[in-house]
């Protein structure tokens, strides 16, 4: 298993500072994001591990929540329906309508709502006991989501503008730029077709990777310093763990918001008329 907080404590129960055992600080690293298969094996490339399990459970939770909220909708909503409606309406009006527009954006609301809650749930696993791991801190998950958005953006661009118009849209063709037009088109080409999907995925991945590493660092440090005069430092580290957990809650929601906001921006750019 990965070196998440509970596992590190299990493996290092006798490891404290100022002990004669001389054990060093078990710092988190890339090994903290590697998991042994729960089923299957790495050699066959056919296996099921903890992040996969969390992604599956997260999907079931999201579907189950909205199904329970809307299976028997009422004119005067109950608490569950009210929460679901508020979340749905926040994404629809606050992100989709504001970015794409009501007329064009309505058809994309289900996709954007699904993306937001899926990303948010995958992020939230980081602070949920036992799970304690953000699925999006593994680059494959943000990469696949970014690829879905990328394919949608490219297909919409060509569908709306045609072959020639799409390339003008992608390369930012504007004859008023004069002599610098070729350079500007080259920069826009690489920015839109190569850099855009990369940054879309990495922004989410890097924030969750860094956040989880910091949580691990302070959690492990709290245990490691829990000996002798190190107890005072352990208390400080424990307080930082709580602070970082609260901060991570904010970042998790923010990164889900940013991911879908960028998605709407890309869709809006694909649908916009080229001047």
pLDDT of 199-217, one tens digit each?
999 999 999 999 999 999 9
Predicted confidence at residue 274, as pLDDT, reads: 60
pLDDT at 3: 43
- What predicted TM-score, i.e. pTM, was given to this entire model? 0.88
Which residue matches tokens 């066959």?
44
pLDDT exceeds cutoff 70 at 8: no
Residue 275 has pLDDT above 80, yes or no: no
- Backbone angle region of 47, left / alpha / beta, with phi > 0 → left and psi within -120 to 50 → alpha: beta
Whether pLDDT at 162 is above 60: yes
Is the pLDDT score of 2 beyond 50? no
Give the dihedral sign, CA 111/117/120/121: negative
Lowest mean pLDDT among 1-5, 97-101, 225-229: 1-5
CB proximity list for 166: less than 8 A, separation 6 or greater: 157, 158, 160
| Helix boundaries (H) for 173-229 | 181-190, 196-224
Average pLDDT of the residues in 102-116: 95
pLDDT attached to residue 9: 41
Looking at per-residue pLDDT, the higher value among 20 and 177 belongs to 177
Rounded (5°) CA angle 114-61-132: 105
pLDDT above 90: percentage of residues in the chain: 65
The percent of residues in the chain predicted with pLDDT above 70, rounded, is: 92
Place of tokens 């989501």: 145
- Of 254 and 27, more confident: 254
- When the pLDDT of each residue in the chain is averaged and rounded to a whole number, the result is 89
pLDDT at position 5 = 43
What is the bridge-based pairing of β-strands 46-48 and 39-41?
antiparallel
| Distance separating the N- and C-terminal Cα atoms of the chain | 54
115 falls in which pLDDT band (50, 70, 90)? very high
């Amino acid at each position: 298993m990965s070196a998440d907080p509970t596992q590190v404590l299990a493996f290092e129960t006798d490891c404290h500072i100022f002990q004669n055992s001389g054990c060093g600080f078990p710092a988190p690293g890339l090994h903290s994001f590697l998991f042994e298969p729960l089923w299957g094996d790495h050699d066959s490339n056919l296996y099921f591990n903890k992040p996969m399990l969390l992604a599956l459970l997260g999907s079931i939770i999201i579907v189950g929540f909205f199904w329970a909220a809307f299976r028997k909708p009422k004119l005067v909503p109950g608490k569950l329906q009210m929460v679901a409606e508020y979340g749905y309406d926040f994404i629809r009006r606050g992100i989709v309508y504001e970015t794409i527009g009501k007329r064009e954006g309505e058809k994309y609301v289900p996709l954007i709502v699904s993306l937001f809650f899926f990303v948010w749930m995958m992020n939230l696993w980081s602070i949920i006991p036992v799970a304690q791991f953000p699925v999006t801190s593994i680059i494959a998950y943000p990469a696949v989501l970014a690829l879905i958005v990328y394919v949608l953006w490219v297909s919409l661009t060509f569908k709306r503008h045609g072959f020639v118009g799409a390339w003008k849209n992608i390369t930012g063709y504007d004859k008023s730029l004069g002599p610098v037009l070729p350079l500007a088109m080259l920069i826009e080409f690489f920015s839109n077709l190569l850099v855009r999907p990369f940054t879309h995925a990495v922004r989410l991945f890097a924030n969750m990777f860094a956040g989880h590493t910091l949580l691990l660092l302070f959690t492990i440090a709290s245990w490691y310093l829990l000996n002798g005069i190190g107890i005072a430092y352990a208390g400080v580290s424990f307080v930082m763990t709580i602070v970082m957990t609260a901060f991570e809650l904010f970042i998790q929601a923010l990164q889900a918001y940013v991911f879908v906001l960028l998605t709407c921006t890309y869709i809006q750019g694909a649908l916009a008329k080229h001047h």
